[in-house]
Amino acid sequence: MTDAFRFFLECVNLFFIIYLIGYSSFLFLSVVAGAIELYKSYRLEQLHNKLWQSYYIPVSILVPAYNEEITVKDTVTSLLNLDYKLYEIIVIDDGSKDKTSQILIDAFHMERVARPIRHLIQCQPEEDVYECPNQKVPITLIRKKNGGKADSLNAGINAARYPWFICMDADSILQHDSLEKIVRPVLEDENVIAVGGSVRPANGVVIKKGHVIKYRLPRNIIARMQSLEYDRSFLAARILLDKINANMIISGAFGLFEKKTVIAVGGYDSSTMGEDMELVVKLHEFSRMNRKPYKIDFAQDAICWSQTPEKLSELGKQRKRWQRGLFQCMWGHRKMLANPRYGAVGLLSYIYFLFYELLSPFIEFFGILTMVLSVMMDMLNVKFMLAFLACYALYGILLTLTAYFSRIYTIDQKLSFRELILAIVACFFETTFLRFYLAFVRVTAFVGYKKNKLNWGKLERKKMNGI
């Protein structure tokens, strides 16, 4: 072996160690900041020191649906039970091949109407429009040609009557007070143009009329690990980045947007699988280029309960789609990288998502490979390497449990000893198994990319508990 190759391996090993330390440090700061913010919010709730007046902004809730006959009725039913005074529900059937539309028509006695829709954003033409005259909240059903989720949301924006809209998935349930809580940042700051809510796995949770009747960790181990992963993700980076107006993602399952600003940037992009992130990045770019004061906020107490995959194959499909969407968005907006014109988004968020989200599985696999090669060539202290990786794993487990227990405390839920043990065991497997499985999935996400770059795949749906 040449000295140059040995030097190369040493440099890669050093970079890998620094990379892991950097990620752990960011995660530590994020989780601590998130936990403190959750506690402060909880204390304000206890002291009733928040905006409780009966102020409302009118909101259109957009629900794109494709072959969602199992869940769509429950989703709409739950939306009718929200603690809010002024909103409408718009379901966009994106050319479903099942009974999605018929189930809604029958369940809510909807009638076909001749309603003209002004196309402010380009989308596939609508075929039929149905409305429900007998509900306390206006319900509209739009049947259109298949064009994808982004295209369906654009159709919903065109049909929306109100100046703000919520996007959500047809397999999700909003908590009874979620709409009230997600609009608070808009009432508190006139510069807010978008607000993201928190998404939590609904697997194992019993929900009735928007109220959580029973909460527990999912019994399915795959869903249980995701539950902990979601808590860490939403508690960590999103709360910290929110402090500097640098959030690049609002989950497609639950987000609030100002309609006129979304129309100004051209709506959702149908050419990407990450339409939710792509829209948020466009809003950052548009506002900064036009020197428009703006704020993209995060309401951690506005809760949306969504189904998560319970099979590794289903989870793999989902994460491949997320990885492709992340790549498409970051490549499309690559000029933001380390660009001071975009403020903290370009100087911090973009770099974080590039190295610790998009490239992380490649860096981790390459780092582990070089460590193995170094051990085989007697270039690395094996005991030190194993101790370092064990400390890193333990550190990750503790931070994940911190995020999980912080959320449990602030929603006044009590854990049994059995639930505590399940959480610790699931956290161990999430750190030592699921992380590496998902890294492998994300690395292979680009195999056949040209053919599958807009292929969403089919995920299994189940009825929600208690609806």
The pairing of strands 87-94 and 139-144 is parallel
pTM: 0.90
For the cut 60, the answer to whether the pLDDT of residue 169 exceeds it is yes
Residues near 107 by Cβ (< 8 Å), separated by ≥ 6? Answer: 73, 76, 77
Alpha carbon of 133 to those of 103, 113, 130, 139, 140: distances in Å?
17, 11, 10, 8, 10
User: Greatest CA separation found in the chain?
Assistant: 80
pLDDT of residue 110: 94
The two structure tokens encoding residue 63: 């629900």
Rounded-to-integer distance, Cα 197 and Cα 238, Å: 10
For every residue of 8-69, DSSP letters joined together read HHHHHHHHHHHHHHHHHHHHHHHHHHHHHHHHHHHHHHHHT-S--SS----EEEEEEESS-T
Mean pLDDT of the chain: 86
Q: Phi-psi region for residue 275, left (φ > 0), alpha (ψ -120 to 50) or beta?
A: alpha
Rounded-to-integer distance, Cα 459 and Cα 171, Å: 11
pLDDT digits (tens, 9 = 90+) for 188-223: 999 999 999 999 888 888 888 888 888 888 889 999
User: 68-72, 326-330, 455-459: lowest mean pLDDT where?
Assistant: 455-459
Rounded-to-integer distance, Cα 25 and Cα 22, Å: 5
For the cut 80, the answer to whether the pLDDT of residue 467 exceeds it is no
3-class secondary structure per residue, 218-259 = CCCHHHHHHHHHHHHHHHCHHHHHHCCCCCCCCCCCEEEEEH
**455 — pLDDT class (breaks 50, 70, 90):** low
- Cα pseudo-dihedral 210, 214, 219, 220, rounded to 10: 10
pLDDT digits (tens, 9 = 90+) for 112-135: 999 889 999 999 999 999 998 778
Q: Judge whether 261 and 293 are in contact, CB under 8 Å.
A: no
User: 52-61, 182-191, 406-415: lowest mean pLDDT where?
Assistant: 406-415
Alpha carbon of 131 to those of 113, 142, 149, 259, 271: distances in Å?
7, 9, 21, 22, 30
Region 56-79: mean pLDDT is 92
Alpha carbon of 243 to those of 13, 238, 240, 246: distances in Å?
34, 9, 5, 8
Domains of the chain: 3-26+352-450 (no CATH), 52-348 (3.90.550.10)
pLDDT of residue 273: 85
The two structure tokens encoding residue 42: 């909880």
